[in-house]
Amino acid sequence: MPKLFPVPTARRIDGHRLLSVALIPLAAAIAMASTVAATGMTATPLGEANSTLGFLLDFATFCYLAVAMAHLSGAIAERTCGGMAAGLSMDEFDAPEPISKDEFWRAFPNHVDGAAIAGAVTLLCTLAGALIS
């Protein structure tokens, strides 16, 4: 019986994509939260309602939720429209040859993996924020 939705297997781990899903949003959340905390300026009562750790977890939740939505929309666009070339350079003349569609989906994390990882971290940050409040 043929599978309607075959699950691809990962043949390699792409370090750049894994870093962009797992660590870069955390670094962005820490940078944003520390900047807001250092200036002491909050436009909402978010900073006053939570502790410093709660404030950081709220920023991390926001960053990882944005990453999850970006990867989810990328997966939808890839499956419905064929997607875009997956090169690292934005300059079309200096860009390396884009990897094929099959090769893109054989690497870990692909768009679905990225959305799942970022969604799981979002859930963990939300649960941790609820526990410390």
Strand partners, 13: 108
In this structure, is residue 106 part of a structural domain? yes
pLDDT in tens, 19-61: 889 899 989 888 887 887 777 665 555 555 567 777 788 889 9
71-97 pLDDT, tens digit per residue, is 888 888 877 876 555 544 455 555 555
The pLDDT of residue 30: 87
Domain presence at residue 31: yes
Claim: this prediction has a pTM higher than 0.85: no
The two structure tokens encoding residue 104: 């893109």
- Written as six digits, the tokens of 80 are 């419905």
Structural domain of 106: 12-38+45-81+99-132
74 located within any domain: yes
- In a domain, residue 90? The reply is no
In a domain, 126, yes or no: yes
* Total structural domains within the chain: 1
Whose structure tokens read 């781990």? 13
Sign of the CA dihedral with 84 first, then 88, 91, and 97 last: negative
Q: Is residue 23 part of a domain?
A: yes
Q: Identify the H or E element spanning 93.
A: none
Query: Which stretch of 57-71, 73-87, 99-113 has the lowest confidence by average pLDDT?
Result: 73-87
Given this model, what pLDDT does residue 77 score?
A: 80
10 Å Cβ neighbour count for 64? 26
Asked if residue 109 has a cis previous peptide bond (ω within 30° of 0), the answer is yes
User: In the chain, which ranges are E strands?
Assistant: 12-13, 107-108
